[in-house]
């Protein structure tokens, strides 16, 4: 149930941020840079996933494989990073008070989802514990 709530909040936040509530700002081009960067990170992550290995819920599937190469050799959660980078770009493009309140909700939710998923991985795989020693969560060499 916890997983479904986290995914619901994630998609509700994304939907609320994607709705056209405002006019483009002077930061529109910079926002587009972040959107393209975020989508690139997402594509890099998806390209390493096999069909059936990807799960939108943070729950660990019994038959899943731990991916450790490509972008996953730098960060453990590139799809989460992709969402946060892309939606930061959207916020810059249409910067207004509404988005300034919704984006932190998305960030907090994604962090909760990430920590929950990691706790499940620690119970599921000894290999994951080794993997965490060599990779960052979201930002290479930072976090």
Distance CA 63, CA 109 (A): 26
Q: Label residues 105-125 b or e (16+ Cβ within 10 Å = b).
A: ebbebbbbbbeebeeebeeee
Determine the pLDDT at residue 140: 83
Q: How many CA atoms lie within 13 A of 60 on its CB side?
A: 17
**If we measure between CA atoms, which residue out of 40, 108, 90 comes closest to residue 70?**
40
Structural domains of the chain, ranges and CATH numbers in brackets: 2-134 (1.20.120.1630)
Residue 112: per-residue pLDDT: 96
Query: According to the model, what pLDDT value does residue 41 have?
Result: 97
Whole-angstrom Cα distance, residue 40 to residue 6?
24
Residue with tokens 């599937």: 61
pLDDT at 76: 94
Per-residue pLDDT of the chain (143 residues; tens, 9 = 90+): 899 999 999 999 999 998 876 788 888 999 999 999 999 999 999 999 877 677 888 888 777 788 899 999 999 999 999 999 999 999 999 888 889 999 999 999 999 999 999 999 888 888 888 899 989 998 887 88
- Residue located via tokens 């081009």: 29
119 Cβ partners below 8 Å, 6+ apart? none
Query: Which pLDDT value is given to residue 70?
Result: 93
- The 10 Å Cβ neighbour count of residue 14 is 16
């Amino acid at each position: 149930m916890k997983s479904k709530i986290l995914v619901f909040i994630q998609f509700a936040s994304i939907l609320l941020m994607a709705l056209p509530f405002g006019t483009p700002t002077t930061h529109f081009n910079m926002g587009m840079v972040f959107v393209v960067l975020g989508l690139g990170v997402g594509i890099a992550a998806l390209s390493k996933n096999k069909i059936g290995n990807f799960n939108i819920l943070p729950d660990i599937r019994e038959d899943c494989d731990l991916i450790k190469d490509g972008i996953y050799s730098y960060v453990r959660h590139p799809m989460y990073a992709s969402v946060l980078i892309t939606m930061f770009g959207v916020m810059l493009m249409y910067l207004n008070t509404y988005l300034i309140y919704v984006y932190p909700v998305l960030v907090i939710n994604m962090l909760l989802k990430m920590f929950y998923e990691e706790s499940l991985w620690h119970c599921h795989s000894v290999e994951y514990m080794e993997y965490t020693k060599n990779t960052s969560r979201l930002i290479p060499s930072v976090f």
